[in-house]
Amino acid sequence: MTDSILFSPFNLGSLQLKNRIIVPPMCQYSAIDGCMQPWHLMHLGSLAVSGSALVFIEATGVEPAGRISPADVGLWDDVTQEAIARTLRDIRSFSDTPFAIQLAHAGRKASCRQPWFGGAQLPLEEGGWQTYAPSPVPFDPKDRPPQELDQAGLTRIISAFVQAARRSVDLGIDAIELHGAHGYLLHEFLSPLSNQRQDNYGGSLENRMRFVLEVFEAVYAEVAGKVPVGVRISASDWVDGGWDVQQSIQLSQALKERGAAFIHVSSGGLSQAQQIRNEPGYQLPFAQAIKEAVDVPVIGVGLITEPHMAETVVASGQADLVGIARGMLYDARWPWHAAAELGAHIDASPQFWRSQPSRLKTLFTNNIK
């Protein structure tokens, strides 16, 4: 067996990970009134026995108005909390894989149909709702303008993030990620394309970062010492004059100084004018730039589908961990197959021990005789 960096351990703050493979949040649009359903047990349960080091629960709305669609998972009251608790209780009966949760507010991109129904904004008469944003600028010109958040609204949303973080700790969640990417509310405050405010939350970079840092500080103060807290960012809007990697580096440094345990580096999602070069590893240069500039663990993502590519990412220092999202949906045993290809060991549930091919007798670490 070779010494694979991809299959070496890593720590995110106090959280010890068995390898460097992360399953990022992937919206399933299958909840009812914010509550997880049997689909989530099947989906997350399959990922929990995949051999990945950490599984993220999908973007979870901190208030009903913060959902992308009416079918998003939420965590804003006892009912939504119990739905997640029920799912995790079942999964933890057969897996010790750590779970993280991504706490989110969709901002002006809320109130939309599920993607397989087109993803367009829902009319109010069809179950849609008022959206909120830093400025009354819609994502799509055809959308209803979002309501500009006043101080009371900002305070309400910070409180919602804190309450959701508290509930996450009560659920036994192992790490918390704040969703500051993909054109949703926190990202909307960061980008000058969506933030046209004239107060202390708009204009300069310092002002545009203010709300994100206030949310982080409030959540961190609530859960510090209990679970690591990180942030997912879009490192670039892929639009001239928008949010870019240099601003992302400054944000990452500010987050690190405030206790961030990791930065999860994605890109895009804020503007329909984005020009993305969609190719394998297209977001990794952003992750590398942040990792080289800021002393904080970085998760790299972006069409990483091949084991040797993932190995190169961590071995070369482009990122500390790799996120395998769509690749895991296509192949829920991706870590097994990567370990086999890279000559590494991996843990597996005993129910699976007899599945390893004879040429891979020592693939499963906990079945080595």
CATH number of 143's domain: 3.20.20.70
pLDDT attached to residue 366: 65
Rounded to a whole number, what is the distance in angstroms from the first to the last CA of the chain? Answer: 15
Residue 275 lies in a domain: yes
Instruction: Specify the residue for token string 């079945």.
Output: 367
Angle formed by the axes of helices 78-92 and 38-48, nearest 10°:
40
- CA nearest 34: which of 100, 98, 106, 96? 106
pLDDT at residue 244 in the model: 97
How many domains does the chain fold into? 1
Which residues constitute the domain of residue 146? 10-334
Side chain identity at 19, as an amino acid letter?
Answer: N
Element (H, E) at 180: strand 175-180
Q: Residue 365: inside a domain, yes or no?
A: no
* Whole-number pLDDT of residue 200: 97
Positions marked catalytic? 184
pLDDT means per 10 residues in the chain (369 residues)? 87 95 97 98 97 98 98 98 98 97 98 96 96 98 97 98 98 98 98 98 98 98 96 97 98 98 97 89 95 97 93 96 95 95 92 86 70
CB 72 within 8 A of CB 61: yes
In a domain, 282, yes or no: yes
**Distance (Å, rounded) from C-alpha 341 to C-alpha 347?**
15
Task: Tell me whether residue 163 is in a domain.
Answer: yes
Q: What pTM did the predictor assign?
A: 0.96
Residue 184 sits at the vertex; the CA angle it makes with 194 and 57, to the nearest 5 degrees, is 170
Taking a C-beta distance cutoff of 8 angstroms, is the pair 247, 171 a contact?
no
Query: What single letter denotes the amino acid at residue 264?
Result: H
Pairing verdict, β 147-148 and 10-12: unpaired
E strand or H helix that includes residue 54 = strand 54-61
Residue 317 domain-assigned?
Answer: yes
Q: Is residue 367 part of a domain?
A: no
